[in-house]
Structure 1
C-alpha cells in the first residue's frame, strides 16, 4: 500500500536523519554528535538569522556542530578561494545554476546521494529536480525560491490617479502615462544594481518569445542577435525612455540601488508608484514601516505581451554539496524536507517550492499567494542570467549587467546594436565554460 505523501515524508525523515527510534519503542540517538559541518551563503541580517534557526534544529536532532559563513555579495569568490585552498565549505547556497554547472564540471561540487537524493525526489516537482540536475546527476536542492514576475505598487497612488493594475504591457504603458499626468513618477528602477535589469529582460523575453526560445537563449543555442532579442530590447527601451516613466529618468535610475528603490516607492516620503522586483521586496517594505504588505503595498503579475498567457520567471538558492561526508548528505536531506522549509516560511521573506510544505505556515495571504504561484504556474522558467556563465550573467560586473546598464543610460540606442554587443559577450563567456 502506498502511504499518503505526508506519511511517506515523515518516514523518509527518519531515514534521512539516521535517527534510531522512529518507532515508539526505541529512544532517539544523535548519530553526528560533535561532527562539524559548514554552510556558506550570501544571506545576512534577518535572513541569516532565520536560516541559522534551521541549522540549529538540524544540530539539535543530529548532534552535529553546524556553522554558517556569510559571503555576502562575494559568495562565489569565497567558495572559489576555499576550493582553491582545498578547504571548501561542506555546503554552499548558490543562486546561479550556471555557476553550479561550472563547479560540477571541475568535480568541486558533489552529486547528491542516498537519503538526500530520496528526499529531493519525494518533495520536489520534476521541474525543480531538473533545475538541480547536471549531466544526469542531481547536484542542487532548491531550498529557497523567488517569484520574479511581480510588480509592486502603492494603492494610494493608483487610487489618486484612478487606475487599476494592468494586465498587458500596453496597459502598463497607459497606466504609467496616467500616473505621470497625475503628477507621480510611474516606476522606480534600481539601475545601479545590474541584476534587476536582467530581470526586466527575462520577463519581457519569456512573454514575447515563449519558453522554448527562452531555453535556447539561456543555453546559447540561440544567438543574442535573434529578432526576438531585438524586439525585447526595443520594448524595454521604449518604456525606459518614455518621459517621466522612470523616477529621475534613466540617469536617476542608474544611481538608484535596490534598497533605495523600495524606499522611493514605499518609504515615508514616496516618489513613485511602482517597483518591479521579486517577492523579497516584502522584507524591505516591512522594514520601512510606512506601508503594509497586502494593504497599502500590493502586487500584480508581470503584464503579458500581445495577449500571451501568464508565465513566471523564478529564482532560487540551491544547496550544493562540496564534500561527500555522511553528515553533509544528512544536512542536504534535512534542507530538502518540509520541516526545514517551514522554519523559515513562517517568518516571512521566504518562499519554498517544496510541494509538501503546508502553505498555511506563511505569515500572510500575500506571501502564500506568491508561493502558490510558483507551485502552480503552467509556464515557469528559471532566471536566465543565472543560468549563464558567471562572466556573462552570474555576478557583479557580468557582461549582461553592464550592457543593460549602458542601454538604460541611452534607451534610444538601436536595440540591434545592443543585441550585437550581448552576443559578442555571450560568445566569449560560453567559449570558456
Structure 2
C-alpha cells in the first residue's frame, strides 16, 4: 500500500476532523486496550471470501449492467491487488459489468494526468490522499458521487470519514480502505529470548531496543528507500509530542517547519535514527531497503532475524503473510508508544473517486461504500475498512479484529496522515520534498536545524508562500 500527496494551489488542506487532546487520548486508549487484549492469531475459521456481510446477506442494491465495461486504477500490487480483484469479481457477478483493473504508478496523480491527456482515463481511481481528491476536483477530473453512493456513505461511515472525501461540501470520494498507522510489529521469539516487554512510552521503547540489542539482535528494521515510511515515523512522534492542535497547524502549514515543536520531534527521532547499530544495515542499509523487505526481514530467520521490530500500519500483515510467521503468535504488535501525554492515532486511506461518470462507475463506488464489498476483502486479511457496518468477525485473526474495532470505536477521533494532506511536491514525491529531506536526516540525524530549514523552504514553495 502507498499513497502520494497531491499538488495543490495556495490553499488549506481539505477539511478533516479537528478534535482535542482528550478525544485523541480516548482513541489512543481504545487502541492500546484492544491490542493488549489480543490473544493468539486464529484464522477466523471458515470465512468465505465471497458474498455479502456475515450473517446479513447482500445489503446494497445494484443495477443490471450487462455489456458495460469500466476501468479501475490503483497503485496496489501483489496480494493487495489480487484481493481487490476478488471484490471486483463479485461486482461483476452481481451486475454483469466487466471491470478491468489498471495498475497505476506512484504518484498516481501524475499517472492519471498522463492517462487523461492521452484520452484514456480510467473510470474510477483509488486516491490515497485528501489533497489528491481536491486536485482532481480543481482540474475538473473528478465527478461528484450520486445519491446512492452518498446514501451508502451516510449509513456506513462516521462523519469524519465522510468529510475527508468532500470538497467544498460535495462528496467526491468514498474511503474504501483505511490504515491504522500507529503500530509497531515485533518478532515474538526475539522478545521472549531477550526478556523484552511491550513498551507504552518512548522511554520504554528505548529501553526495549537496548534489551533486544544486548541479546544480539538489531532492534529496528526501517524501509527508508520508501520515503513515506519516514514521514510516518515523524508524524507519530510529532502528534504525540506536540499534540493534535499543533499537528493540524503544521499539516496546513499554519506554523513553520522551523518551529521548536518540529525540532523537538526530530531530536526525538534521532534517539533511534542516530544509533546506527539500532537499525538493520545502518542508515545506508535502511535507505536501500524498500518497505516490503523491511517487514519480511523482521519475520524471517527464526529468532535471529535482521531486526526485531518494524514500524508501520495494519497493512504490514500482507507482507508478514509472505513469511512463515503467524500474526498473533510469532508476529505480534503494540501501539506506537506515547512520546508526550498520549499515544498517537494516525490514519491513512484510499478513496474511490469517479473520473468518467456513468451508471456503472456510480454503481461500483456505491458497492465499494457498502459493507458487502469491504467484508469480502476483510475476510482475506491485510485490509482495514472505516465502514462501521462491516462485522468485526469478518476479519481473519484476533489482532486484525482488535485493530478494526479500535478504528471504528474511535469514530471521528483520529488524525489523517500529515504528508497525505500536503501538496504532492512536498509530501508525496519520491526523491523530493519531505521524503528526500527525511531520508537525508536519517543519514545525518545531528543536523536538526538544517533539516528544519530545508523542510520549511520546500513546504513554503509547495504551499505557495
Fold-level similarity (TM above 0.5): yes
What is the aligned partner in structure 2 of residue 24 from structure 1? none
CA shift digits 1:235-265 (9 cap, x unpaired): 1112211252212222222222212212321
**Gap runs ≥5 in structure 1:** 1-5, 19-29
Q: Tell me which stretches of 4 or more aligned residues in structure 1 moved more than 4 Å.
A: 9-12
Question: Is the counterpart of residue 69 in structure 1 residue 88 in structure 2?
Answer: no
Residue 410 (1) aligns with residue 444 (2): yes
User: In the alignment, what sits opposite 1:194?
Assistant: 227
Q: 1:41 maps to what in 2?
A: 74
Assess if the C-alpha contact under 8 Å between 1:44 and 1:72 holds in 2: no
Aligned to 1:281: 316
CA distance in 2 between counterparts of 1:243 and 1:69 reads 40
1:272 maps to 307
Contact 1:154-1:266 at 8 Å conserved across structures: yes
TM-score calculated relative to the size of structure 1: 0.90
Please name the residue that 1:23 is paired with. none
Structure 1 Cα separation of the partners of residues 294 and 83 of structure 2 = 24
Indicate conservation of the 8 Å contact 1:99/1:394, yes or no. no
CA radius of gyration, larger in: 1
Q: How many residue pairs get matched?
A: 408
- Correspondence 1:294 to 2:341: no
2:113 corresponds to 1:80: yes
How far apart are residue 370 of structure 1 and its match? Answer: 1.4
Aligned with 1:288: secondary structure? coil
Deviation, 1:126, is 0.5
Tell me if structure 1 keeps the 8 A contact 2:69–2:98. Answer: yes
Q: Distance in 2 between matches of 1:282 and 1:109?
A: 32
Which residue among 335, 347, 354 is the counterpart of 2:387? 354
In structure 2, how many angstroms separate the alpha carbons of the residues matched to 1:227 and 1:376? 33
Q: 1:380 to 1:102 in 2, by over 3 A?
A: same
Q: Does 1:319 align with 2:352?
A: yes
Residues 5-24 of structure 1, C-alpha deviations (whole Å, 9 max, x = no match): x9xx989722xx24xxxxxx
SS in 2 for 1:221: coil
Gaps of 5+ in 2: 1-52
Taking only aligned residues, the RMSD between alpha carbons, in angstroms, comes to 1.8
Q: Does the CA contact (< 8 Å) of 2:105 and 2:111 recur in 1?
A: no
Question: What's the counterpart of residue 60 of structure 2?
Answer: 13
Show the 5 A alignment for 1:64-213: 64-213=97-246
* From 430, 434, 440, the counterpart of 1:400: 434
Shift of 1:395: 3.1
Cα shift at 1:369: 1.1
CA deviations on 1:136-159 (whole Å, 9 max, x unpaired) are 111111111111100011111111
Contact 1:12 1:119 in 2 (8 A): no
Q: Decide which moves more: 142-151 or 179-188.
A: 179-188
**Kept in 1: contact 2:420–2:427 (CA 8 A):** yes
1: distance between equivalents of 2:83 and 2:182? 25
**Contact 2:217/2:305 (8 A) holds in 1:** no
1:98–1:394 Cα contact (<8 Å) kept:
no
Given that residues 112 and 140 in structure 1 are in contact (C-alpha distance below 8 angstroms), is that contact kept between their aligned partners in structure 2? yes
For CA contacts below 8 A with separation 6 or more, give which structure has more relative contact order: 2
The offset of 1:87, in angstroms, is 2.8
Normalized against structure 2, the TM-score is what? 0.84
User: 1:45 Cα deviation (Å)?
Assistant: 2.2
Which of residues 214, 217, 226 is equivalent to 2:247?
A: 214
Q: CA deviation at 1:421?
A: 0.8
| 1:256 and 2:256 aligned | no
How far did residue 74 of structure 1 move? Answer: 4.9
Question: What is the alpha-carbon distance in structure 1 between the residues aligned to residue 226 and residue 80 of structure 2?
Answer: 20
